[in-house]
Amino acid sequence: MRKHLLIIGGDSRIGSHLAAYWRQRGLTTYATTRRRFRVGPNRPFLDLNDCQHAIDFSQFHSAIICAAVHNMAICEAEPERSQLINVHATLRLVSELLKANAHLVFPSSNAVFDGTKPFCSVVDEPRPRNLYGRQKLAVELAIDKSKAAIIRMTKVINPSMPLLKEWEIDSPAFTGGVLN
């Protein structure tokens, strides 16, 4: 029985934290990298710019696709490149993973909505207002939802974000990183 997890986009903020989380809990976790100098035993090479990889997807029971052009301004400035990565290459990976019978998790975005209604639900009609939202929605619509989970996120934060670090340092309630 396959017990391996594949995180595509292991260098991303979400991907790197997920890999660390699952490894700490004893799950054999592979996290892809597009940086050749980071390739290693549990760090296979995968570059969505050209979809190069030599990964046998059949060894994985689950895969999480964290790789994408996440910056909305870059998506708008480089529409062809972001479309290639966020839609075409991602859908190619989705197809390969589903053929290998891996359970797929696709982190999407609340950018598939227009922002006029707070706390949208799965029954609300998507109306993206930017290219990034349209790209995420295109992948969502193409995914076989019986074999995949789509998670729409709003804002991903972690303790090392510059804003949180600034608040920690500037706040008189904090002393040495501990709330008084």
pLDDT at 163: 66
61: left (phi > 0), else alpha (psi -120 to 50), else beta?
alpha
Q: Are 136 and 111 in contact (CB under 8 A)?
A: yes
Instruction: Using the CB atoms, write b or e for 149-171: b if 16+ within 10 Å.
Output: ebebeeeeeeeeeeeeeeeeeee
CB atoms within 10 A of CB 82: 21
Q: Are 126 and 92 in contact (CB under 8 A)?
A: no
Q: What is the dihedral of CA 112, 113, 118, 121, to 10 degrees?
A: -70
Q: Are 89 and 96 in contact (CB under 8 A)?
A: no
Tell me which DSSP letter residue 135 carries.
H
pLDDT at 179: 46
Homologous superfamily of 4-179 = NAD(P)-binding Rossmann-like Domain (3.40.50.720)
pTM of the model: 0.84
**Over its length of 180 residues, how does the chain's per-residue pLDDT go in tens digits?**
568 999 999 999 899 999 999 999 999 999 999 999 999 999 999 999 987 788 999 999 999 999 999 999 999 999 999 999 999 999 999 999 999 999 999 999 999 999 999 888 889 999 999 999 999 999 999 997 778 999 998 877 666 767 666 765 555 555 555 444
pLDDT at 153: 84
pLDDT at 172: 54
Going from N- to C-terminal start, the domains of the chain cover: 4-179
| 1, 100, 111, 132, 180 from 129: Cα distances, Å | 43, 34, 7, 9, 42
* Rounded CA separation 50/84 (Å): 9
